Amino acid sequence: MDKLKVGILGLGRGITHLRNFLKVEQAEVIGACDRFPMLREKGKELLEPAGGKVVSEFDELLAMNPDAVVVASNGKLQVEHSCQAMEAGCDVLSEVPGAYTEEEFIHLRDTVERTGKTYMLAENSSFLDFLRHWRKWLLNGRFGPISIAEAEYLHYLPQTLFASDGSRFSPSEAKAQGRTDCKPIWRADQPPIQYLTHDLGPLLEVLDDRCVSVTCRSAPWRCKEAPLRSDGQIALFHTAKGRLIKIMVTLSTRQPSGHRYRLMGTGGSTEWFSYEGFCRRMDRDQQKEAWQRVDIGSAAKDEDVSTGHGGTDFKVAKYFTETIIRGKPSPINVYRAIEYSLPGIIANKSAELGGLPLAIPDLRREPFPGTTFWDIVGLPKVEPSGQPYKG
């Protein structure tokens, strides 16, 4: 196969995938699909000059016989669409969360195993550049044993309604405009902690670990723009290697959006906040207990950060294409996708039970062999210098 023929399902979030796959040398986007005319028009502006076609129905897209399909549809339909694509003979790159229930993940796993098609979860945050350095530092013992890790996803999303033309509104905007054609988007009633893959996934790869149990609590439901979900949830996971991972997700508290990640070891620690764009690090060889600033951001210095989410969206397209073209293992296969996302589903069940600790099912056929993510993505060869942090 010289080029991977790609189809894009969903041109909301999928418009970014369309742009990036058009930039991947070994990929050819032959078609895209969306039911909303407004989104199809945006897709046509990009795709028709490249010789592709935009259609309204998924069956029409599959009839073009793509080698692979990018599933960027409603999160509650992602398993249905992923399985439909694999049954049609296509490899699949699926947006997060990948599935909405444990039963859906079982169905997805079984379909991957039965069809033999490649599945990859499009978790872009796992490709943040600073994580490669964290993994290297951890392997070099710079922090000693890691006992605690945490991450936060802060994203105010008040536009929880969509109109018949696909446009988005907050409830107050819809009321002010007298809109009567609005319905809740799929994330309007999604428990916040179920959208944790941007936080948990990267930590699991750095730590080479998986979660085995969780306790979780919900914040109040006070955001008038998102009345169908809690203002946020905080989960505490216990891992197979005995660590604690704390994850907080809020989609309804008003503040600048961002990610925060921390590793805490017995010999040192490191942290990265997206609104700062650099690491703080204190390793076990330091004489003084103080942070060092290490200038590592979302992308390496020679990478294009304009392709979405600090350049990570392009990496998703690039590595997926290489996975298929070169016959490589998927960086985030179906089993790892389950370990990224299922903990959030179980965490919400814990919250509904008042924080009752719950076991997280292991849906692998064989024991977890350890992360293969870094075998594919690679670790950095150049060590960035540190300097005293001035807060």
Q: Is the pTM of this model over 0.95?
A: yes
| Residues 276 and 171 reside in one and the same domain | yes
335 CB-near residues (< 8 Å, 6+ apart): 109, 363, 364, 368
Digit-coded pLDDT (tens) for 252-297: 999 999 999 999 999 999 999 999 999 999 999 888 899 999 999 9
User: Residue 53 maps to which CATH number?
Assistant: 3.40.50.720
280 occurs within a structural domain = yes
| Residues 255 and 111 reside in one and the same domain | no
User: Residue 260 maps to which CATH number?
Assistant: 3.30.360.10
| Residues 104 and 133 reside in one and the same domain | no
pLDDT tens series, the chain, 391 aa: 889 999 999 999 999 999 999 999 999 999 999 999 999 999 999 999 999 999 999 999 999 999 999 999 999 999 999 999 999 999 999 999 999 999 999 999 999 999 999 999 999 999 999 999 999 999 999 999 999 999 999 999 999 999 999 999 999 999 999 999 999 999 999 999 999 999 999 999 999 999 999 999 999 999 999 999 999 999 999 999 999 999 999 999 999 999 999 999 999 999 999 999 999 999 998 888 999 999 999 999 889 998 999 999 999 999 999 999 999 999 999 999 999 999 999 999 999 999 999 999 999 999 999 999 999 999 999 999 899 998 7
Where does 63-101 have alpha helices with state H?
78-87
313 occurs within a structural domain = no
Full residue range of the structural domain in which residue 246 is found? 129-299+334-388
307 occurs within a structural domain = no
Using the 3D structure, point to which of 117, 150, 178 is the last residue of a domain. Answer: 117
Count of positions (residues) in the chain: 391
Using the 3D structure, point to which of 85, 117, 149 is the last residue of a domain. Answer: 117
* Alpha carbons 98 and 121: distance in angstroms, whole number: 7
| Residues 384 and 257 reside in one and the same domain | yes
Residue 93's pLDDT is 99
Nearest alpha carbon to residue 253 among 283, 282, 219, 286: 219
| Residues 342 and 234 reside in one and the same domain | yes
Residue 211's pLDDT is 98
| Residues 97 and 143 reside in one and the same domain | no
Residue 223's pLDDT is 97
**Look-up of token digits 């004489």:** 287
Digit-coded pLDDT (tens) for 85-105: 999 999 999 999 999 999 999
CB 311 within 8 A of CB 323: no
| Residues 84 and 198 reside in one and the same domain | no
| Residues 93 and 140 reside in one and the same domain | no
Q: How many domains does the chain have?
A: 2
| Residues 221 and 186 reside in one and the same domain | yes
346 CB-near residues (< 8 Å, 6+ apart): 102, 214, 358, 359, 360, 361
325 occurs within a structural domain = no
228 occurs within a structural domain = yes
253 occurs within a structural domain = yes
Residue 296's pLDDT is 95
Nearest alpha carbon to residue 365 among 79, 103, 106: 106
Using the 3D structure, point to which of 94, 117, 140 is the last residue of a domain. Answer: 117
Q: For 181, what's the count of Cα atoms within 13 Å in the CB-facing half-sphere?
A: 6
| Residues 82 and 142 reside in one and the same domain | no
| Residues 103 and 159 reside in one and the same domain | no
| Residues 210 and 353 reside in one and the same domain | yes
Strands (E), 157-307: 161-162, 168-169, 183-184, 211-218, 233-239, 244-250, 258-265, 269-273, 279-282, 292-294
322 occurs within a structural domain = no
DSSP label at residue 319: H
306 occurs within a structural domain = no
Residue 286's pLDDT is 87
Strands, sheet with 53-55, edge to edge from the N-terminal-most edge strand: 53-55, 27-33, 4-9, 68-71, 91-94, 119-121
